């Protein structure tokens, strides 16, 4: 925890942790578009059992503890869609999330900009962390007496350079059919889901060329998206730790964290929870994949079912457990 507090004090003392001159892993098509291998998935489920089928086992560990909920957005609360501006969550999902957030401290940690994911979710009882945790809204418990939100932004000094890169990318890829840039404030996302397969390689090279001489930035990849991010030692796992610390749970022995996410960037949060052994990392995937998660859910519909069951479980425990969740 001392290492984390040191980061919190020295906000702008981050060191560059990745070189963009490292050879990137080969980009591949969206793995969720592949036809599922029933046998392989069944085998994978033995290692990462369904969180729905294992719900009672998971919640047995939660008795007498304060449950804290963390969620990704795209692919978790909403389905992956062709147009990222139309990744709307369902009315049922919003209602379930609202109910969960009434009962447990709940945060959404997304690669989207904080404002964008808040616009999608439309709930005020949820804490939002955008740009993979580089822009975190202060939880209600830590806001000032006037209720001002404020934000924790460890990469704030990078903003001018990020805006410059964004303009350069707009110029570089504007003629690539189907490509689109999403400005996520501290993260620039280049979506290529609608780019013809024969043009995707060229697009990736163009994006790479923009940052290859900028060691303070790095490229990461997700589902049919390339992202330009500051090369600082901060990820969703750090954001999770920061939120636990800010909520007053960092040194508590009676806390159980649930983190549900579907993307590679969520693995950093899975690693934190698995390392502490004070919660359950849950991956959302309909195909076998390498993951540090212990449990799994197939798709957002199963996430919805899990959240509904979580809220129902807490109500059933109300007469036995008197927890102060907020």
Here the tokens at position 133 are: 């945790």
Burial of 166 (0-12, 13-18, 19+ CB in 10 A): middle
Question: Token match 């209602």: residue?
Answer: 95
Alpha-carbon distance 279 to 181, whole Å? 35
Q: Quick check: helix, strand or coil at residue 234?
A: coil
Q: Which backbone phi and psi does 186 adopt, to 5 degrees?
A: -105, 10
Q: Give catalytic status of residue 72 as yes or no.
A: yes
Could you tell me how far CA 180 lies from the centroid of its own chain?
21
Catalytic site residue from 72, 238, 266, 268: 72
Question: What b/e readout covers 243-266, taking b as 16+ CB neighbours within 10 angstroms?
Answer: bbbbbebeeeeebbbbbbbbbebb
Alpha-carbon distance 273 to 78, whole Å? 23
Catalytic positions, written as ranges: 72
């Amino acid at each position: 925890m001392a290492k984390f507090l040191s980061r919190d004090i020295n906000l702008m003392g981050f060191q560059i942790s990745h070189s963009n001159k490292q050879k990137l892993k080969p980009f591949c098509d969206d793995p969720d578009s592949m036809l599922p291998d029933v046998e392989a998935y069944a085998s994978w489920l033995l290692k990462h059992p369904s969180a729905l089928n294992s719900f009672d086992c998971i919640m047995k560990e939660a008795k007498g503890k304060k449950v804290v909920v963390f969620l990704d957005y795209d692919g978790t609360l909403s389905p992956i869609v062709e147009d990222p501006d139309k990744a709307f969550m369902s009315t049922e999902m919003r209602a379930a999330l609202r109910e969960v957030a009434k009962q447990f401290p709940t945060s959404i940690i997304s690669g989207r900009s904080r404002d964008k994911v808040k616009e999608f979710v439309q709930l005020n009882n949820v804490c939002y962390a955008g740009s993979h945790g580089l822009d975190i809204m202060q939880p209600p418990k830590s806001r000032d007496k006037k209720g001002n939100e404020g934000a924790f932004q460890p990469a704030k000094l990078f903003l001018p350079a990020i805006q410059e890169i964004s303009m350069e990318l707009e110029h570089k890829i504007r003629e690539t059919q189907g490509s689109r840039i999403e400005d996520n404030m501290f993260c620039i996302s280049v979506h290529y889901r609608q780019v013809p397969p024969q043009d995707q390689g060229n697009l990736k090279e163009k994006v790479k060329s923009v940052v290859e001489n900028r060691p303070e930035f790095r490229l990461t990849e997700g589902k049919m998206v390339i992202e330009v991010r500051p090369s600082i030692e901060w990820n969703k796992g750090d954001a999770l730790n920061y939120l636990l610390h800010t909520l007053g749970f960092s040194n508590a022995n009676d806390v159980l964290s649930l983190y549900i996410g579907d993307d590679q960037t969520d693995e950093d949060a899975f690693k934190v929870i698995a390392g502490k052994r004070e919660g359950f990392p849950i991956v959302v995937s309909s195909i076998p994949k390498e993951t540090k998660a212990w449990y799994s859910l197939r798709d957002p519909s199963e996430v919805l079912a899990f959240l509904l069951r979580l809220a129902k479980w807490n109500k059933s425990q109300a007469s036995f457990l008197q927890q102060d969740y907020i």
